[in-house]
Amino acid sequence: MNIVRPFGPTIAKLKMPNNIVEQLNAYSEKVILDRKKIEEIDNGKNLAGNVKQEFLVEKDVLDSSGFYNFLKNSVSMWLEASDKKKITQFTIKKSWIVRQFENEYNPIHYHSGHISGVGYLKIPNNFGETFQPGKKNENGFISFIHGNRLFNSSSIFKIKPKVGDFYLFPNYLMHTVNPFYGNEERRSISFNANIDENIYNVYGA
């Protein structure tokens, strides 16, 4: 685990085990081919993204793939390292997979719950070129945003996604995903979870 503090709150970067990535991709491919199932677990209407397909990850898959335990253990390690707090509760409110294609994007938004995260299951070989030659190519990047740009203080933390990379962050941390260009899929998995209220609520009851 690598913990960074590009501004106020910390962000934890981890690696998902390959077997979890493979199982979540296998689940995705199965769901994509099942028209009835994809309608049952569609989550696009509840999310901010302007993307073609977003669907829930069912609880039995969270458990059987090892994803739940990966999240629980990772959140526990992160908060103990950054806040010196030991959680005793960890409840996933919702987990979902986002299938993003050319020209699609996720506007600036934040999540519900206490803790959120995003990891990458599938990434295009090429995100496409910039319209103006020589400009930094941030197609398909995720950007976390907090506070104002000040001396010695950034307000944007930009990340190029890679398969297996996973990031944990507080639910309130705003973020956005840029569009990209090409025929391939950018596939990610996210979650919202609650932890001990007395740890999350720093202002008291």
Which CATH fold would you assign to the domain 2-126+140-198? Jelly Rolls (2.60.120)
Secondary structure of residue 202 in the 3-state scheme: coil
Report which of 148, 167, 121 is spatially closest to residue 11, judged by C-alpha positions: 167
Tell me the per-residue pLDDT of 156-199, one tens digit each, with 9 for 90 and over: 999 999 999 999 999 999 999 999 999 999 999 999 999 999 99
Q: Which two tokens stand for residue 82?
A: 């950054």
| CA 185 to chain CA centroid, nearest Å | 16
φ/ψ of 59, rounded to 5, equals: -60, -40
- For residue 66, the one-letter residue type is G
Domain ranges for the chain = 2-126+140-198
Tell me the per-residue pLDDT of 92-142, one tens digit each, with 9 for 90 and over: 999 999 999 999 999 999 999 999 999 999 999 999 999 998 899 999 999
Tell me the per-residue pLDDT of 45-95, one tens digit each, with 9 for 90 and over: 999 999 989 999 999 999 999 999 999 999 999 999 999 999 999 999 999
